[in-house]
Structure 1
Amino acid sequence: MASMSSGNPVDEITPRENAACPAQPSPKEKAQKSSIAKECASDQSSLPYSSFTRKQKWLIISLSTFAAAFSPLSSFIFFPAITALSDSLRVSVGRINLTITSYMVVAGIAPALLGDLADTTGRRVVYLLMMSIYCVANVGLALQSNWAALFVLRMVQSFGSAATIAVGYGVVSDIATPAERGEFVSGMVLGPNIATAIGPIAGGALAESPGWRWIFWLLSLLSGTCLLSLACFLPETARSVVGNGSAPVSGLRRALFSYLRLSRLPAPPEKSSNAENGQSPPGSVSARKNLHVPNPIASLKLLWAKDCILIVLIFGIFYMNLSCVQASTSTLFISLYGISDLKSGLVYLPSGIGSIIGAYGTGFVLKYDYRVTARKHGITINIEGGDDINMFPIEKARFRSIWYSISTAGICTIGYGWALNSRLHIAIPLVLQFIIGFSTAMVFNMSGTLLVDVHPKTPSAASAANSIVRCLLAGGGLALVQIFIENIGVQWTFTLFGGLCMGCLGLAQLEWSYGKLWRDKMRERGAGR
């Protein structure tokens, strides 16, 4: 490895007396140099990837998943209130739907700005900024009484919540080694999956009584609680700011309470073999920037990488499919099965519960697949220091089991459309929704984990690139799904969406086969991530 030769401790410590004719060291000097090299190597290897304990890591993940829950919650709690808002504000349902479109447009743009800011300035500062904006927007939404205010404040609300998942992925990359990353990603996305399940139920109940304004008062209360929790307990984790978490911080980057205060580790040498293999030295601070202008182009540039675009396309297609299934659920079940508006919120439960179980279960699958892949390639897993992803076939580990999830989701989506068309017993499409939610959550976690694995320096920016693609695809799908249902029928509509999901098998195969080769070529060209 080039990094081993350039970062040799002996070369750094021992000066050259004469470049043309170097003096030959004595046996005693050779022994001293060897001792120094071993001592430096020991110091480097003794530094953990993260100085947070496992208990502290899970507390950080708990705070991150709490914040990440607001992104889907803002959408799904709003759906059951569309009719009530239309009547209250005296505008058409179509105009209320425009606020959903504006929400999704901002949801695609905001992560590109805030993701880059989180990678360079710090996760904690961006979290506090987002939750403050989100809380204020919800207070405004609860008080507003006209469509124009609703339209604008929904965009502000989206800006405050849309990047929480992208920043959450960055937090996982900060504190978790590749071997344990799948487990922590599953924990981080648990909040969004729970929000997807309970959001429609809460929205339907509040819209019916005491009224739609209480939807936004509830979001204000929850986001205020989240903001206070983040301010008090969340430490800074960005590796560009605190290294492995042991570097001292001050101001907004420091938690109000010292519950997560860490013992300070000795600062390591500035140069390390890790510096050239895609990751900063575990305890070092590669960059400190008090002021950084967000660069949305940083996220867009990542989409030019072959492996990145394949991963985000898989994620985006499945996000579009799930969004179209859920957005049409209430209308279809009311028209086909004659259920009430209030009960229509309950039909979202199977998909939500499936997503929760799938997200939780994927952590165990990813951990097992990582170990199997490491053993197959003769690699010893380094839990404390973290494995060198540039030398590890991470694509084969993360996508080892994705084939089953892709196939299951695609087949069940097709079956879901035909079950609705035949008006089979209501339990059948609900069971299929459960399976779709379960398998889709597994695809999300596997592809999302791989995305931050291959972008260790800019995990939030990579997740922001993912947000751009998935929001564009979901927006297009939501604009067309009702048109398709009315013109070609529900059965062929979901046959089309299921076929797109099945097409992801080819994308996954390309990533599985050539992903590492593409990464190696990128590194050789000096386009490090």
Structure 2
Amino acid sequence: MLQAFGASSVIAIGAGTIADITHPAERGVYLGWYSLGWNLGPVVGPAIGGLLSQYLGWRWIFWTLTILATVHWFVLAFFLPETLRSLVGNGSGYANPTPLQWWRRRKQQQENPEKNQTASNPSTSTGTSLREMLLAPLQPLLYAKEKDVLILLIYYGIQYAACYSMTTSIPFVFSNFYGLNEALIGLTYLANGAGCIAGSIIQGKILNRDYRRMQKLFPVASSLGWANSELPLEYIRMRTIWIHALIFNILLVVYGWSLHVRAHLVIILGIQVVLGFTSQAIFNSIQTLLVDLFPDRSASITASNNIFRCLFGAVATTLVLPAIQLLGVGWAFTLISGILLLSRIPIFFELSYGPRWRSERAKRAER
């Protein structure tokens, strides 16, 4: 529980940092690489864990996690600067400086003391009251009251649950159906991981290209920003999502029945590659759109998305193995694909009414 508590906050902070330093026309690739990290972890981790457990014992899984976490902590503490505009302005400020920034600033002050005497130090306080600080952890839940956001959060959550159903069931089906040991089971996760990598990179480039194309077609609307209802932001970010969704739904059914008939492992792993590709493309599109809708509150909206996807993922993890044992692997994944298909329907409302809801939200914020 403590591990999840710490890891979830990192996801939100990372998305906020990327939104602080990127333009919407470049955001697709950046968020693609970033979201690849937290989505790739659950598929690469089992591969490493399987090898460690098979050859060194399960305790080395936790030793490895401790070593990696310590290394990453030092990298973040010493090299990751503050990017929040309210604290650092245009980036020249040094609020909450890293040791490297502190040393450079001290050196500049020693070399040119007169110039630094007139420089104002940025505020290290966000100006929030105690009440606001206590209510801050609940703020991500408030985004669900927005109709367009709720549709996206549920869509992302159910898609994530479907992916987790597949990855969670891998040890059970591959050990019982194919007789693989822990090391080989762990390596099978790499197929999904390869698809995730390809999907993230390619979809990120597509999102950037589509946004630049929108800027050329709607130059006036683009200059007015995300609040303008004439800007087809939802369509641009989700233009290709229906293709990935359709492929994922069909192949998830094929995947289940291929396992049912004990198809060759090459077929099973090949399907996993495509499932990883399409799911990561969907995740990248939705996450980028959510950040576009709340560019000044990207960390909060990412935290909201994280809450929903983890809740849906937890439900899927709990139910998938009982479903396979009760219905059989073929019908279990057919049922999951059917539920996922129903979750696609509200996206049509997002595309039709999203710009209007976005504009109404901007007008409410101005009052």
Counterparts in 2 of 1:488 and 1:468: CA distance versus 1, 3 Å: same
SS of the aligned residue for 2:227 comes to helix
Match of 1:339 among 168, 180, 190: 180
The answer to whether the 8 A contact 2:53-2:183 is kept is no
Counterparts in 2 of 1:320 and 1:244: CA distance versus 1, 3 Å: farther
Aligned equivalent of 1:484: 323
CA deviations 1:243-276 (Å, max 9, x no partner) are: 3423x234xx11111399799xxxxxxxxxxxxx
SS of the aligned residue for 2:155 comes to helix
Aligned equivalent of 2:257: 418
Give the C-alpha shift of residue 323 in structure 1.
0.6
SS of the aligned residue for 1:461 comes to helix
Match of 1:201 among 22, 42, 47: 47
Aligned equivalent of 2:191: 350
CA deviations 1:359-403 (Å, max 9, x no partner) are: 111110101111222333345867xxxx71113332121111111
Q: TM-score, normalised by structure 2?
A: 0.87
Distance in 2, matches of 1:462 and 1:358, equals 23
User: Pairwise mapping of residues 75-86 of structure 1 onto structure 2 (< 5 A)?
Assistant: none
Distance in 2, matches of 1:470 and 1:257, equals 36
Distance in 1, matches of 2:4 and 2:253, equals 32
RMSD: 2.5
CA deviations 1:15-48 (Å, max 9, x no partner) are: xxxxxxxxxxxxxxxxxxxxxxxxxxxxxxxxxx
The answer on 1:403 being equivalent to 2:242 is yes
- Aligned letter for 1:390? A
Aligned equivalent of 2:89: 243
User: Pairwise mapping of residues 334-483 of structure 1 onto structure 2 (< 5 A)?
Assistant: 334-379=175-220, 388-391=225-228, 392-483=231-322
Structure with the greater alpha carbon radius of gyration: 1
- Aligned letter for 2:89? G
Distance in 1, matches of 2:180 and 2:28, equals 39
> Which sections of structure 2, spanning at least 5 residues, go unmatched?
109-121
Counterparts in 2 of 1:377 and 1:261: CA distance versus 1, 3 Å: farther
Distance in 2, matches of 1:300 and 1:330, equals 34
- Aligned letter for 1:307? D
Identity of aligned residues (%): 35
CA deviations 1:216-247 (Å, max 9, x no partner) are: 2211111111111111111101223223423x
The answer to whether the 8 A contact 2:94-2:101 is kept is no
Match of 2:127 among 289, 299, 318: 289
The answer to whether the 8 A contact 1:174-1:237 is kept is yes
Give the C-alpha shift of residue 156 in structure 1.
1.4
Aligned equivalent of 2:349: 510
- Aligned letter for 1:388? G
Counterparts in 2 of 1:181 and 1:345: CA distance versus 1, 3 Å: same
Distance in 1, matches of 2:253 and 2:171, equals 18
Give the C-alpha shift of residue 445 in structure 1.
0.6
CA deviations 1:169-206 (Å, max 9, x no partner) are: 11111111111111110121233344334311211121
The answer to whether the 8 A contact 1:193-1:356 is kept is no
Counterparts in 2 of 1:376 and 1:509: CA distance versus 1, 3 Å: farther
Counterparts in 2 of 1:197 and 1:181: CA distance versus 1, 3 Å: same
Give the C-alpha shift of residue 305 in structure 1.
0.4
Distance in 1, matches of 2:199 and 2:159, equals 14
Aligned equivalent of 2:64: 218
CA deviations 1:458-499 (Å, max 9, x no partner) are: 211111111221111111122211121111111111111112
Q: Which has the higher contact order (CA 8 A, sep 6+)?
A: 2
> Which sections of structure 1, spanning at least 5 residues, go unmatched?
1-154, 264-283
The answer to whether the 8 A contact 1:418-1:490 is kept is yes
The answer to whether the 8 A contact 1:409-1:501 is kept is no
Aligned length: 347
Distance in 2, matches of 1:317 and 1:260, equals 47
Distance in 1, matches of 2:89 and 2:36, equals 26
Counterparts in 2 of 1:259 and 1:249: CA distance versus 1, 3 Å: closer
Give the C-alpha shift of residue 415 in structure 1.
1.0
The answer to whether the 8 A contact 2:13-2:299 is kept is yes
The answer to whether the 8 A contact 1:197-1:353 is kept is no
The answer to whether the 8 A contact 1:416-1:432 is kept is yes
Aligned equivalent of 1:304: 145
User: Pairwise mapping of residues 141-152 of structure 1 onto structure 2 (< 5 A)?
Assistant: none
Distance in 2, matches of 1:319 and 1:428, equals 23
